[in-house]
Structure 1
Amino acid sequence: MKILMVHNAYLHRGGEDSVVEAEIALLREHGHTVELYARSNDEVAGMAAPTLAIQTWWSQRTVRDIEQRVGHFRPNVIHVHNTFPLISPALYWAAARAGVPVVQTLHNFRLLCLNALFLRDGKVCEDCMGHLPWRGMARACYRESRPASTVLAGMLALHRGIGTYRHKVARYIALNEFCRRKFIEGGLPADRVVVKPNFVDFPAPEAAERSGLLFVGRLSAEKGVATLARAMALLPEAQLRVAGDGPEAGSIEGIPGVRRLGNLPGSAIHGEMSRAAALVLPSIWYENFPRTLVEAYACGLPVIASRIGALAEIVHEGETGLLFEPGNAEDLSAKLQWALAHPERLREMGRNARARYDAEFTPEVNYQQLMAIYREVVSS
């Protein structure tokens, strides 16, 4: 097949960017021809606000670019990861006019929530679910800016109104069943939303002595860093290594047993996961499908996660990890204490985690799932 990948890269590199690169590499390894149409949020700097607003709603540049790419490349399918803000939903209309089916991966909840997190004031908020997001606009939920929130809300209202999301996308890919249910509840057609998780390509870990806890990710409020800090303060005997950086870094400074590693490359993350006893994932929002979790499973590392959203679906209590109440530092502390007191049970959970990775999250399994989606939309 010929596949045209589409992605609007973020200002700060994140998991979505890694997923795009991994899927392109996977498809090319299997002999498919893949081109990437990309824009970057670096372009936003210096752009006039009215110009950015217009591009967010309907980018004529995207229409021209896609028409040219399709005419030259003639793809069988266009696979979209992110169109916000520069590519815009005009992409879907350009693809439809060219007769090329569109597959859209839903990495976050942007189509349903202005901040894409279903999170407000540190708590889950679904006030805009299934409605025009006027509440998010009034509350300045996107970047704490009412003008920016108004632009985003206008884009969603426009494209819901003209049927873009219901009629111009052949298949939506949700990353798990929890997210699929949320998107259907929010108004996407149920028969067009399928599930395909993220994947990673990590070799089986070598047998090694495991010790200590590990956190990997951005140190930001939605990741539950404050909860983690309070829990560790209750466990001065525990050892936690923290890989990552972000605005909440100060909340874990000076806590006994906590050692910051900073941002690490993938190979170093793999090494840390192969040595740790458990990964801690204390998010307070509906994580769609953190690659960190799949990486942990690949490394035979059990996960201690918040009982929220998809995490409660992906982490099997007592089998591949433990669950605690989101935002509850005392509950997290108790689970960490139990885990460190039962190293053999943790090792068993780690073996189960690797077995689940082999069954569900390898590149080959993911490739078969992706090709089934492509073949279905192309044939129909």
Structure 2
Amino acid sequence: MKILVVHERYTQPGGEDQVFLDETALLEARGHTVIRYERHNDELAATGRLRQAVETVWSRRAVGQIDALLRRERPDVMHCHNTFPILSPAVHHAAAKRGVATVQTLHNFRLICPQGALRRDGRICEDCVGRTVAAPAVRHACYRGSRAATAATAAMNAVHHTLGTWTTVVDRFVALTEFSRDLFVRAGLPGERIDVKPNFVAPDPGPGPAERTGGVVFVGRLSEEKGLHTLLDAWRRVRSDARLTIVGDGPLGEEVRAAAATDSRITAVGRRPFAEVLERVAAAEALVMPSVWYETFGRTLIEAFAAGTPVIASRLGAMAEIVTDGETGVLFPPGDAAALAAAVDALQSDPPRRRRLGAAARGAYEAGFTADRNYELLRAIYERALARRRPASPALPTASRHAAPA
């Protein structure tokens, strides 16, 4: 099978970029031909605001380049990861024109929330779920604090809803959890075409050492929605000598470093290479994920599982689906610093329980998050997309009339 994989890289590399790398490598290792089409968010710096607003809705450049690739390479499937904001969902129409099956992974909630995280003013927000036009998001300037930028994103969703991009053109969607799938169905995506396929960790790092000396580790963007305030507040309440290592950077970096300067148990190491992150997770007594937003997946969770490291996570969204309370980790109410502190102290005082949870976490990885299992699921998704593939169409739809000339 020949697959064209489309992805727009982020300015700060994150989980979606890693999934793109992992899945393309997985497909090639199984003998498939992979063609990569990549762009980078850094291109935004050289693009005027008006032009970028237009291309967010319908990028003629991306459509032209994708169309040329499709004609030259003749892939069986086009699989898109991130298309925002440079590529635009219009690339799916280019594939439909050529009779190529299309797949879209739903890495975040951008199709139903211009801000992408279903969060506003420090709380979960579903005001735009199910709306063709995300008027509340524009009113509150949810994307980057800008009404103009939010309006461009809302227009992208509205235009492609009207054109049937999501309901007709895309052959299969990939949701990372059942929780995410249910949200997208409520928002109007066709549930019969949404497959659930989690992320995976490869190569298998193997379980970490039996005796852990790395304390508790947090890995992720240092931002409010990741629960950093809850985490730092919890450590002021932790009674044990549990050590906390915070890996990552972001807008709350200074606050994290200030906390580390006043509490000898906290160490902030900033952004680290991926291999080192895995080593730190494998050496940890527990991984903590105190996010206060839904998290479409949380790849760090399964990295911990692969290493046999138990997880302490918020009872919210994907985290509550992946982590089984009392079996592979501990769940606590989101935003509850006292409950998080109590969970840390309880695990710190009970090494045998930590080992049991870690062993079960490793078992969960082996059952559901290996490369072999993921390949089975991904191939089946492609086959279902191919089964729905339509004959080539002589021309693209007249969607470009919805956007000013670029």
Band of TM-score, shorter chain: over 0.9
Say whether 1:219 aligns with 2:195.
no
The corresponding residue for 2:137 is 136
SS at match of 2:188: coil
Q: 1:187-198 to 2 correspondence within 5 Å?
A: 187-198=188-199
What amino acid is the match of 1:227?
A: T
Instruction: Identify if the C-alpha distance between structure 1 residues 206 and 280 changes in structure 2 by more than 3 Å, giving closer, same or farther.
Output: closer
Q: 1:314-329 to 2 correspondence within 5 Å?
A: 314-329=322-337
SS at match of 1:274: helix
Give yes or no for contact 1:5–1:36 (8 Å, CA) kept in 2.
Answer: yes
Show CA shifts across 1:172-207 (max 9, x none).
000010000000001101101110000011321253
SS at match of 2:235: helix
2:205 equivalent among 166, 183, 203: 203
Give yes or no for contact 1:208–1:274 (8 Å, CA) kept in 2.
Answer: no
The corresponding residue for 1:82 is 82
Rounded to whole Å, the distance in 1 between the matches of 2:98 and 2:288 is 46
What amino acid is the match of 2:169?
A: K
What amino acid is the match of 1:235?
A: V
SS at match of 2:347: helix
What amino acid is the match of 1:191?
A: E
With 101-110 and 236-245 compared, the bigger mean Cα shift is at: 236-245
Give yes or no for contact 1:229–1:251 (8 Å, CA) kept in 2.
Answer: no
SS at match of 1:289: coil
SS at match of 1:130: coil
Give yes or no for contact 1:208–1:275 (8 Å, CA) kept in 2.
Answer: no
Rounded to whole Å, the distance in 1 between the matches of 2:219 and 2:268 is 10
Give yes or no for contact 1:224–1:327 (8 Å, CA) kept in 2.
Answer: yes
The corresponding residue for 1:244 is 248
The corresponding residue for 1:164 is 165
Alpha-carbon RMSD:
1.1
SS at match of 1:199: coil
What is the CA distance between 1:379 and its match in structure 2?
Answer: 2.8
What is the CA distance between 1:250 and its match in structure 2?
Answer: 2.8
Give yes or no for contact 1:302–1:346 (8 Å, CA) kept in 2.
Answer: yes
With 267-276 and 127-136 compared, the bigger mean Cα shift is at: 267-276
The corresponding residue for 1:176 is 177
Show CA shifts across 1:113-137 (max 9, x none).
1111011111101111111210000
The corresponding residue for 2:279 is 271
What amino acid is the match of 1:176?
A: T
Runs of 5+ unmatched residues, structure 2: 389-406
Show CA shifts across 1:260-300 (max 9, x none).
12222122122212211110000000101111111000000
The corresponding residue for 2:392 is none
Q: Could you state the TM-score of these two structures normalised by the residue count of structure 2?
A: 0.92
Give yes or no for contact 2:208–2:309 (8 Å, CA) kept in 1.
Answer: no
Q: 1:108-123 to 2 correspondence within 5 Å?
A: 108-123=108-123
1:234 equivalent among 231, 234, 237: 237
Q: 1:1-380 to 2 correspondence within 5 Å?
A: 1-131=1-131, 132-201=133-202, 202-211=204-213, 212-235=215-238, 237-252=241-256, 253=259, 254-380=262-388
What amino acid is the match of 1:198?
A: N
Rounded to whole Å, the distance in 1 between the matches of 2:352 and 2:252 is 33
What amino acid is the match of 2:182?
A: R
What is the CA distance between 1:316 and its match in structure 2?
Answer: 0.1
Instruction: Identify if the C-alpha distance between structure 1 residues 150 and 20 changes in structure 2 by more than 3 Å, giving closer, same or farther.
Output: same
SS at match of 2:81: strand
Give yes or no for contact 1:200–1:294 (8 Å, CA) kept in 2.
Answer: yes
Runs of 5+ unmatched residues, structure 1: none
Show CA shifts across 1:202-226 (max 9, x none).
3212534213111111111111000
What is the CA distance between 1:251 and its match in structure 2?
Answer: 2.8
Rounded to whole Å, the distance in 2 between the matches of 1:16 and 1:217 is 13
Rounded to whole Å, the distance in 2 between the matches of 1:270 and 1:43 is 30
What amino acid is the match of 1:199?
A: F
Rounded to whole Å, the distance in 2 between the matches of 1:152 and 1:304 is 34
What is the CA distance between 1:52 and its match in structure 2?
Answer: 0.7
With 304-313 and 253-262 compared, the bigger mean Cα shift is at: 253-262
Give yes or no for contact 1:306–1:323 (8 Å, CA) kept in 2.
Answer: yes
SS at match of 1:75: coil
What is the CA distance between 1:256 and its match in structure 2?
Answer: 3.8
What amino acid is the match of 1:162?
A: L
Give yes or no for contact 2:305–2:361 (8 Å, CA) kept in 1.
Answer: yes
Rounded to whole Å, the distance in 2 between the matches of 1:267 and 1:158 is 41
- Residue identity (%): 48
Q: Could you state the TM-score of these two structures normalised by the residue count of structure 1?
A: 0.98
Matched residue count: 380
Rounded to whole Å, the distance in 1 between the matches of 2:29 and 2:242 is 43
Rounded to whole Å, the distance in 2 between the matches of 1:206 and 1:350 is 9
Rounded to whole Å, the distance in 1 between the matches of 2:68 and 2:249 is 40
Show CA shifts across 1:61-108 (max 9, x none).
122111110111100000000111111111111111100010100000
Q: Which has the higher contact order (CA 8 A, sep 6+)?
A: 2
Give yes or no for contact 2:208–2:308 (8 Å, CA) kept in 1.
Answer: no
Rounded to whole Å, the distance in 1 between the matches of 2:336 and 2:225 is 14
